[in-house]
Structure 1
Amino acid sequence: MFIHQSYAYAMLRPLQQAIRAQGGEVCWFLATDEVDPGFLTADERRLMSVDEVREWQPHAVLVPGNVVPSFIPGIKVGVFHGFNSGKINSRGREDHFEIRGCFDLYCTQGPNTTAPFIELAKQHGFFDVVETGWANLDPLFTPCADNPYLDASDPRPTLLFCSTFSQKYSCAKKLVPQIEALRDSGKWRILVQFHPKMEQQVIDTYKGMQNDSLTFVETDNVIPLLQAADLMLCDTSSMLLMFLLQQKPVVTFNTQTPQPHLLNVTEPEQIAGALDLAHSHPAELMAAIETFSNQLHPYRDGRSTERVLVAVNNLIESGLGHLKSKPLNLIRRFKQRKSLGYWRW
C-alpha cells in the first residue's frame, strides 16, 4: 500500500482485509510527511524505507494517488483517490485522465471513466484497464451500526459541508457568513469536513464556529460522514460524487461542471433556498441522480474489492509481456528519487 495522504488508509483497508482473508500479506509505505503514521493500527506493518520495500519484494503496489516510483518493485495498480470531478490541470486536461506513465493497471470505477481509459490504453499501450468499481466504496453500501456522526436524539436533518483545498475552487472561505447563518438558524445539524490540504486559517475559522448545531470533523475515513448526512453542500470536491451514489442530493456553489444531478447556485444568498429544495427531493433531480450514478459507479453490491483483487491477480499471473515499455519520464523519476532520498539503482 503506497500512500501520499492520510485519507488513503481508509481507501485501502477494504483491500487489505480481502488480501489477508485470501492468505496474503500487506505492508504500508508512507511516501510523504503528510501521512500521519499514528493512523496505522497495531496489526499493520509499515516499511520504513525504499530499501525495505525492495527487500520485501511486493507482487503488487496499490496506489490511491497519481504517481508511484518505477524503482518500487511489483506491478503498479492505480485504484484512485476520488472520482473524476472535472478539475482541469495546468496542461488544460482533465486531471483524472492524466497519464503519467507510472501504472500497469487502472481499476476503473464505472462506464464514464472506463471508456476514456480504454481509449487511452489503446493510445499508449503500456497499461491495462479493468472496470471493477471503487473498493473504497464497499463500506458505503454496508450500514454502520455504531456511526459516531449519527444522533438519534436530534430530529433535525443533517447537512454535510465539504470543500476542496484549492483556492481557485474552494468555497469554504467565501461561505463563512452563510454557514454561520445556517448554524444560527437552528434548522440543520451541520457537519463540516475539509480536504487535508485545506489552508490552516480556514480550518481554524470553522473550528471556532462549533456549537450544538455545527461540528468540525477531522478524520481519515469519510464513509461514516457520508452515511450520516441527509444532504451535502459542496464545490468541486469529488466527495460529492460519493455522496450522490447514496441517492442523496447535493447543492453546489459555483461548481466547474453544472449538471442535472446537482443543484448549483452562483450566489451565496441562494444557498439557503437551494438546500430547502434539495431536502424536498424533487422528482426530476432524484431521477437525474439515479441516471448519473449508473454511469459513475453502478456497483452497489459491496464487492468491488473482490473485483480489484481478481484483476490484480490476473495481471500478476499473466505478466506484463503484452504491454509496451513505459516512457522514461526522466524528470519525474529524478523528482521521485529526490523526494524519497533514494539514489540506488
Structure 2
Amino acid sequence: MRACVMFATETYALPILRPLAAAAVARGVQVRWLVTDAVAQRLTVDEQRLRNMADIRAFSPDATFCAANWAPPGVPGLKVQVFHGFNANKREPDRGHFAIRGFFDLYTTQGPATTLPFEALARDHGHFAVVETGWPKLDPLFAGNVAHPIERDARPLIMFASTFSHRLSCAPAMLDTLRTLIARNDRQWLLTLHPKSDPGLIRAYQALEASNARFMDSERLVDMERASDMLVCDTSSVIHEFAVQNKPVVTIANRRPEPFMLDVATPGDVDAAIDLALSKPPSLMAAIQAHGDDIHPYRDGRSSERVLDATDAMIAAGKAKLHRKPLNLVRRYKAWRDRASLFPA
C-alpha cells in the first residue's frame, strides 16, 4: 500500500482511526484525512485533509478506512470497514451492526462474536471479504506507554458514559443520582457523553464537575477507560470496550443484559451495584473474561498492524473472486448526496 485515506464523519472516529494512521505512517504509507468540517477542527497540523475530488484523484489512495457505516463513492481504492463501535444490540441485527449496505470490499472484524456472523454474510452476499484483526481503537488501551495519563488517588474511580439514543440513554435520569453520589465524596468520577447528545444535557453534566468529578470529551474515552476501576452505563458499545480490560460494568436498563454485566432497573439501584462490582465476585469476573475473549481476544496493541496486513493482502490478491456489489440505488443516491455535503466535486 502506497497511500490511504482515513474517512470520518464524527469526532468519535478520531481515536479509532488515529492508531491505524500512525501504524500506516510508520510503514511509510502516505495518509490523508477525508472528514467533515466539524471533525476537521480536531485534526492536528500533521493530519492533512483532502478537500475535494480533484485532491482525492490526485492523491489516488489504495484504500479508504471507514469508521462509519458508509464509504464515500467515487474515491479510488479498496473500501475497508473498521467499525465505529462494538455490537451493542441497540437494533435488530439486519438494521444494526450486521447490516450489509454494499459499500465495503473488506470487513476487518474485532473478534469471534463479529467474525463468524460476517463470514456467514460474506458467503451469502459474495461481494466482500472478512478478516479478523481486532479493533485499532483499542491498541492504546493495551499499549505499554500512557500518552495522557489521568491522575487519581486511592478512592475508587468510577467512569460514567451513556448512549445518545433517547430511548436507551440513562443520562437524563442519572443526573440527580450522580449529583448525590459525587457530593458524598467517597469515590472519584469521570463523566462523558456521546458527542451527538443534546447540548443542554452535556452542559448539565459539565455542571456536575467537582473536586472528585471531571467531565471529559469522548475523544479521551480510552484514557478514561484505562484509568477507571469500573463503568456505569446503559446500552452503549462503550460497555464492551471497557469490559475487554477485565473490569466490571454496571448497566442501567440495558436493552439486552448479558452475564458479564451487573444490570439494574433504576438509577436508585446503582450505588449498591457499584459496591458489588468493586468487590469483583468470581462468577462475574469469569463472565467478563469469557465475553472479552469472544468480542476482542487481542491484548497485544497490534490490531492496526493486522488491519494494514489484511488490506495489503487484498490489494495484492485483487477483487477478482468477489461478486459485483448490488446497485441499491436509493442507498447509493444518499451516499452521493452525503459525499456532496462533505466536499465539492
TM range (shorter): over 0.9
Q: Decide which of 29, 34, 37 is 1:29's aligned counterpart.
A: 34
SS of 1:221's equivalent?
helix
Q: CA deviation at 1:221?
A: 3.4
Q: Is the CA contact (8 Å cut-off) linking 1:252 and 1:264 kept in structure 2?
A: yes
Is 1:65 aligned with 2:68?
yes
Q: CA deviation at 1:148?
A: 4.0
Q: Hey, which bits of structure 1, 4+ residues long, moved more than 4 A?
A: 342-345
Q: CA deviation at 1:219?
A: 4.2
1:289-338 CA distance string (max 9 Å, x none): 01111111111011111111110001111111110011112112222222
Q: CA deviation at 1:40?
A: 1.3
Q: What amino acid is aligned across from residue 61 of structure 2 in structure 1? A: P
Q: CA deviation at 1:51?
A: 2.7
SS of 2:321's equivalent?
coil
Question: How far apart are the structure 2 equivalents of 1:135 and 1:36?
Answer: 19
Q: CA deviation at 1:267?
A: 1.9
Q: Is the CA contact (8 Å cut-off) linking 2:81 and 2:106 kept in structure 1?
A: yes
Question: How far apart are the structure 2 equivalents of 1:210 and 1:110?
Answer: 36
TM superposition score normalised by structure 2: 0.94
Partner of 2:285: 286
Partner of 1:99: 100
Q: CA deviation at 1:150?
A: 2.3
Aligned length: 339
Unaligned runs of 5+ in 2: 1-5
Partner of 1:179: 178
Question: How far apart are the structure 1 equivalents of 2:132 and 2:316?
Answer: 18
Q: Is the CA contact (8 Å cut-off) linking 1:163 and 1:195 kept in structure 2?
A: yes
Partner of 1:300: 299
Question: How far apart are the structure 2 equivalents of 1:50 and 1:159?
Answer: 45
Q: How does 1:109-124 map to 2 (within 5 A)?
A: 109-124=110-125
Q: What amino acid is aligned across from residue 280 of structure 1 in structure 2? A: S
Q: Is the CA contact (8 Å cut-off) linking 1:62 and 1:78 kept in structure 2?
A: yes
Partner of 1:128: 129
Question: How far apart are the structure 1 equivalents of 2:17 and 2:330?
Answer: 29
Q: Decide which of 46, 50, 75 is 1:47's aligned counterpart.
A: 50
Partner of 2:159: 160
Q: What amino acid is aligned across from residue 121 of structure 1 in structure 2? A: A
Question: How far apart are the structure 2 equivalents of 1:145 and 1:136?
Answer: 14
Partner of 1:20: 25
Partner of 1:227: 226
1:165-188 CA distance string (max 9 Å, x none): 010110000111111111111121
Q: CA deviation at 1:113?
A: 0.6
Is 1:277 aligned with 2:282?
no
Indicate how the Cα distance of structure 1 residues 336 and 273 shifts in structure 2: closer, same or farther if over 3 A, else same.
Answer: same
SS of 2:287's equivalent?
helix
Q: Is the CA contact (8 Å cut-off) linking 2:72 and 2:339 kept in structure 1?
A: no
Q: Is the CA contact (8 Å cut-off) linking 1:191 and 1:217 kept in structure 2?
A: yes
Q: CA deviation at 1:94?
A: 5.1
Partner of 1:4: 9
Question: How far apart are the structure 2 equivalents of 1:242 and 1:277?
Answer: 21
Question: How far apart are the structure 2 equivalents of 1:242 and 1:344?
Answer: 36
Once superposed, what is the RMSD of the aligned Cα atoms? 1.7
Q: CA deviation at 1:145?
A: 4.0
Q: Is the CA contact (8 Å cut-off) linking 1:87 and 1:94 kept in structure 2?
A: no
Question: How far apart are the structure 1 equivalents of 2:27 and 2:340?
Answer: 34
Question: How far apart are the structure 2 equivalents of 1:228 and 1:280?
Answer: 18
SS of 1:176's equivalent?
helix
SS of 1:86's equivalent?
coil
SS of 2:300's equivalent?
coil
TM superposition score normalised by structure 1: 0.94
Q: Which 10-residue stretch deviates more, 279-288 or 211-220?
A: 211-220
Q: Which 10-residue stretch deviates more, 1-10 or 48-57?
A: 48-57
Question: How far apart are the structure 2 equivalents of 1:201 and 1:14?
Answer: 32
Indicate how the Cα distance of structure 1 residues 221 and 186 shifts in structure 2: closer, same or farther if over 3 A, else same.
Answer: closer
Partner of 1:207: 206
Unaligned runs of 5+ in 1: none
Indicate how the Cα distance of structure 1 residues 57 and 146 shifts in structure 2: closer, same or farther if over 3 A, else same.
Answer: closer
Is 1:74 aligned with 2:77?
yes
Question: How far apart are the structure 2 equivalents of 1:150 and 1:281?
Answer: 23
Q: CA deviation at 1:244?
A: 0.5
